[in-house]
Structure 1
Amino acid sequence: MRSESAPDPISPGEPRGLPPKVIVCAIAWILAAAAFGASAERAHAAEASNGEAPIPAATLALMAARETTPAAPVLIRSYKKEAEMEVWKLSRNGWYVLLKTFPICRWSGQLGPKISQGDRQTPEGFYSVGPKQMNPNSHYYLSFDTGYPNAYDRAHGGSGSYLMVHGTCSSAGCYAMTDRGVGEIYAIVRDALRGGQAAFQFQAFPFRMSAQNIARRRSDPNIEFWHQLKEGSDRFEATGEEASVAVAAGRYVFGPSKDPAREALAKARLVREAATVRALIAEGSPAIKTTYSDGGQHPAFAALARQGANLGEISRPEALAYAGIEEVVTPPKPKWRPCLGQGACAPLALRLPVAADANPALANVEPAALARSPLGYKVELLGPSRSLIGGSQPILSANLTD
C-alpha cells in the first residue's frame, strides 16, 4: 500500500508536473516582473519627457576631451541655409570650443529676420535663454524659447511669441530638431543652467557669416542687418567669448572684450573680413538671391525621408523641393587681362587676406561640417577646414543613432 507522502508513479516518457503552488508562484512572479518592466519603461519615458534624461555617455566623454564639463557655460549657434545647430561649451582655458553640430530637421520661412506674427519666419539675431524658457512639458517633446522678440526685434516692430527650438520635424517659425536631437541639446543646456549659468546666448544666423557669403548677398534687402550679425559672429570667432550685445538706435552694437589681447584679435578680424568683402566685390563676385517656398531641412533628413524613415510630423514637405534656390542677380565679372606677348597668358589670381597670417593660432586644422549620411541618422564629417578659434579640438558630429 502506497504512503500518502510518496510521489505518484510516473511512467517512462511522461513529464513530471510541477506542484500547483509552484506554478501559481511562477505565474505571479512573471506577471510582477512584466508589470515592473512596464512601470520602469513608463518611468523612463516620463523622466525623458520631463527633461531629466542624462547627457549621453559619449557626449560626456567628448566634453572631457574638450576640457569642459556639463556644468560649464554653453552657447548655441544656428544657421538656416546650412540647416545646422552648433553647441559650444566654455573650456577650462576660458575659450568657447565647439562641442557638437546637430542637423536641423525643419525651419520655416525665408532667409531674413522675423517681422510679424504669422509670417512663418524663424528668428535671426542674438537672444538670451534662461531657466524659465526651458519647457520639459512641450507638445513637441522638449523645447526652449529662443527669446524672440528681443530689444532689436521690438525696436523694429517685431511681433510674435513662442518661437522655439523643439522636437519632431514640424516648424512654423521654430527650429525643429527631431525628438532625439532636441533631447540631447536640452540635456546639455539644462546642466549648464543648473551649473550656475544665468542664461545662455543663442546666436541665430541666416547662413555661415563668411566674407564670401556676405559678398554674394550684397543685393539682398537684409544685407545691412546681416552686416550687424556678422560683426557679432566675427567677434565671437576671434575672441572665443560670448559677444557683449546691446541695441542702440535700432541697431545691434557690440561691446569690446575686457581682455585687450582678445579685443586686438577682434579688431584685426573685423578689418580683415571687411577688406575681403570689398576685394571679392571688386574682383567680380556674383550677387545672388536665395529663395525658399517655406524654409529648409538638412540633407541628411531629406535622404532619410526618401527612404521612408519616420522623422515624426514634417511640416509642408512639398515645400522642400523648392528650398534654397539660388538666382543670380549680378553675374560674375570675367577674370582676364590682355596678352602682351606670345604664348599663354598668366592667370589672374585674387589674393585675399588670410586669417592665419595675422593669427597663427587660426591655422589649426579642424573638420567642421556635416556630410550626407542617409542611414540611421548618422551624420559624418567632411574633410578638414580652417579652425575659427585656436585651441579647439576636432569636431565630432551629432550621432542620432541608437
Structure 2
Amino acid sequence: MKIRISILTFLFVSSISMAGCQDLKRSKMIRANQALPVKIQKKMKALDMPKNSPILIRLFKEESMLEVWKQKRDGKYGLIAEYNICKWSGKLGPKYVEGDRQAPEGFYTVSPAQMNPYSNYYLAFDIGFPNAYDRAHGRTGRHLMVHGSCSSSGCYSMTDKSIAQIYAFGRDSFLGRHPEFQVHAFPFRMTAHNIIRYRKDPNYPFWAMLKEGYDIFETTRILPKIDVCYGRYVFNGSGGPCSPS
C-alpha cells in the first residue's frame, strides 16, 4: 500500500512538473511571437517596407546604440528603429579569446537556428562569433548574444521590451524566406572625425578595415557582399580566387 501511495505521489508530482514545464515553454513562445507595435507597423508602411523584407542590425559600442534597418521595395535599406544598448561587455576593440568578457566587433550573420526563444535572458540570438575572419586570426569564444535582461558577459544586452521588438524584426524577416540577416558591430560610428580620434589606438588598422564596409552601406544603403580573403574583410569582391589565412 505504501509503495502504491509513493508511486501515485511520484506520478502526481511529475505531472505537475511536466505541466509547469509546458506552461513555461508556452510562455516563452508567446514572447517570441509578439507583434511589432502598431506605431512601427505604420512607419514601415509609410517607408514602403514590406513586413517580411530583410533586415540589417548595426551595433555601436561608444554610443550604446542598436539600429534596425529594413529593406524597402526599391531594394535600398531605411532606418526603421533605434534602441539603447542596456549594457555591452568589455571595452572598445574586438574579442580575442573565450573568457575575455569582450563584446565582438565585425561583420556577422544570423540564421533561424541562432534565434533562441527559450533564452534565460527573455529572448536572444547568437550573432555568429567566431566568423571566418575571427577563425582566421585564431580568435575563440561562443554563445555571444544580443539578449534581454540587461546584463552582459561578452554580449550586447537590451531591455526586455527592446529585445522583443528586435527579435520580432528578425523573425518576420525569416518568415519572408530570407535565410539570414547581417549584424554589423562597430566600436563607434565610423565617421572620418571618429576614426581620426582613434588613429593612435592599437586597434586602428582593424577599425579602418571595418570602416570600408561601413562607408559602402552609408553611401549606397545597400548591403555589401562581405568575404574574408587572406585574413582581411573584403567587400563586394569579384568572386575570384581567395585563400583565407
TM-score bracket, shorter-length normalisation: 0.7 to 0.9
* Residues in 1 aligned to 2:76 and 2:157: alpha-carbon distance in whole angstroms: 28
1:48 Cα deviation after fit: 2.8
The corresponding residue for 2:66 is 85
Deviation at 1:47, TM superposition (A): 3.9
**1:110 paired residue among 66, 91, 95:** 91
Partner of 2:199: 218
Q: 2 CA distance for matches of 1:131 and 1:42?
A: 21
Relative contact order, higher structure (CA 8 A, sep 6+) = 2
| Residue equivalent to 2:139 | 158
Q: What stretches of structure 2 of length at least 5 have no aligned partner?
A: 1-22, 239-245
How far apart, in 1, do the equivalents of 2:131 and 2:172 lie? 24
Pick the aligned partner of 2:170 from 163, 183, 189.
189
- 1:191-210 matched pairs, under 5 angstroms: 191-210=172-191
Structure 1 gaps of 5+ residues are 1-40, 258-402
What TM-score, normalized to structure 1?
Answer: 0.52
Letter in 2 for 1:143: A
How far apart are residue 199 of structure 1 and its match?
0.4
Report deviation, 1:44: 8.1
The correspondence of residues 251-290 of structure 1 with structure 2, limited to 5 A, is: 251-255=232-236
**Cα separation, 2, equivalents of 1:151 and 1:176:** 24
2:30 is aligned with 1:48? yes
Structure 1 residue 42 displacement after superposition: 8.4
1:93 shift after superposition: 1.3
**C-alpha offsets along residues 277-309 of structure 1, whole Å, 9 cap, x if unaligned?**
xxxxxxxxxxxxxxxxxxxxxxxxxxxxxxxxx
- State the one-letter code of the partner of 1:184: Q
User: CA 1:62 to 1:44, structure 2 compared with 1: closer, same or farther past 3 Å?
Assistant: farther
Q: Report SS of the residue matched to 1:77.
A: strand
Contact 2:29/2:118, CA 8 A, preserved across alignment: no
**Change in 2 beyond 3 A, CA 1:44/1:161:** closer
Measured in 2, the distance between the counterparts of 1:214 and 1:47 equals 42
Q: Within 1, Cα distance between the matches of 2:237 and 2:187?
A: 24
Q: What is the Cα deviation at residue 45 of structure 1?
A: 4.0
Distance 1:63 1:203 in 2: 22
* Matching residue of 1:94: 75
Greater Rg over alpha carbons, structure: 1
Paired AA for residue 209 in structure 1: M
4+ long deviations beyond 3 Å: 41-47
The amino acid of 1:237's aligned partner reads: E
Letter in 2 for 1:166: H
Cα–Cα, structure 1 residues 126 and 189, in superposed 2: closer, same or farther, change >3 Å?
Answer: same
Aligned residue pairs, count: 216
Does the 8 A contact of 2:28 with 2:118 survive in 1?
A: no
Q: What do you get for the CA RMSD once the two structures are aligned?
A: 1.7
The residue number in structure 2 matching 1:176 is 157
Query: Aligned to 2:233, what secondary structure does the other structure show?
Result: strand
Amino acid at match of 2:69: W
How far residue 69 of structure 1 moved from its aligned partner, in angstroms, is 1.8
> Which residue of 1 is the match for residue 104 of structure 2?
123
For the residue of structure 2 that corresponds to 1:141, the secondary structure is coil
